[in-house]
Amino acid sequence: MCSRVLWTSEGQPILVGRNWDWTDVVVTELYTTPRGIERSGMTPTNPMKWKAKYASVAAVAWEALTGGGINEAGLSVNLLYLAESDFGERDDTLKGVCCSVWAQYYLDSFATVAEAVEAAKSIQVVPFKVVHKGELGESYIHMEVADASGDSAIIEILDGKPVIHHGKQYRVVANSPTYDEQLALMKEYEGLGGSKPVPGGSQSDERFVRGAFYAQMLPEQPASYQAAVSGVLSIMRNMSTPFGMDDPDKPNISATRWRTIADLTNKRYYFEFADMPNVVWVDLDKLNLEKGASIQKFNLAAHFDASGQVADMFNPTEPPAFLEAGARPN
């Protein structure tokens, strides 16, 4: 259920790859957010209110939640499934941010991982409802953040409190178990401190180890920019879960539905569906993201022949109808 790899090398672009895995087809479109857009934390009580300081492009699922994206400062944010998440009881003294807009709040508001980490300590993240494996439950998620310096953070919500792993060494993320346990398990494998062979399965810990192992095998100085991007994309495809592998008894195994590469140096966002043969991308500097500009979106599913740069294929649209805390997608 989702994977992420951060790749850095001296003199090379900072690249973040992610997979979105889910039990069913996920209607996902790319949305722009111009500077100055006003937003709410979507909680019934004491919601955070803000205006977008930074413009962004984001992958919005079901027209209801931001799953990940990149802003003009070179910050990338991604949400991933974590079954161990525990958001605790609502504390109305804290500003509330629903999971549906958690990633968007960070994209709108922060330029660096350090800023995002500090903000995590003063807000309360509140879940919405989601149907997963046929059962209605909470939006059990955690967040990864990376910036144009190569800094990184993994933010989990456990026992109602943020648990933060902050540092450039935290490059790979998957799902269960919690991140401290993932790091410990990783050291048991060949090439990562142990002797076990690199696993080939689809469980979260297996994908985590595989991503960590292959990420360190990429050339430090690729032959070209294309080679750098395709190297990260090859790892994300290796960490993907094939169609047909969904297991109702294993919450961390679902088919990969789409993947992205965020180039934090050049402010470029790559996107592909797992069931389509084409990769598209958009450069943020080719979009009108000035204050007062309209929100725009691009739907790859409606443009089967699209490939390459698609900045001119974005069209004005209404804002996403972000879910309120406690609500569920249609």
Alpha-helical regions (H) of the chain: 99-109, 113-120, 179-186, 204-215, 225-238
> What whole-number distance in Å separates Cα of residue 269 and Cα of residue 116?
20
Question: What distance in Å separates the CA atoms of residue 250 and residue 161, rounded to the nearest whole number?
Answer: 26
Query: What tokens does 136 get?
Result: 């209605």
Residue whose entry in the numeric block shows the structure tokens 């100055």: 36
A 10 A CB-CB count for 277 gives 8
Phi and psi (nearest 5°) for 4?
Answer: -145, 140
Query: Could you tell me which of 126, 78, 44, 58 has the C-alpha nearest to residue 297?
Result: 58
3-state per-residue secondary structure call for 278-301: CCEEEEHHHCCCCCCCCCEEECHH
Catalytic residue, from 2, 14, 157, 239: name it: 2
The residues that bridge with 39 in the sheet, in sequence order, are: 50
Among this protein's residues, is 2 annotated catalytic?
yes
DSSP conformation letters of 29-87: EEEEE-TT-EEE---SSSB-EEE-SS-EEEEEETTTEEEEEEETTS-EEEEEE-TT---
**Which amino acid is present at 218?**
L
Residues with a catalytic annotation lie at: 2
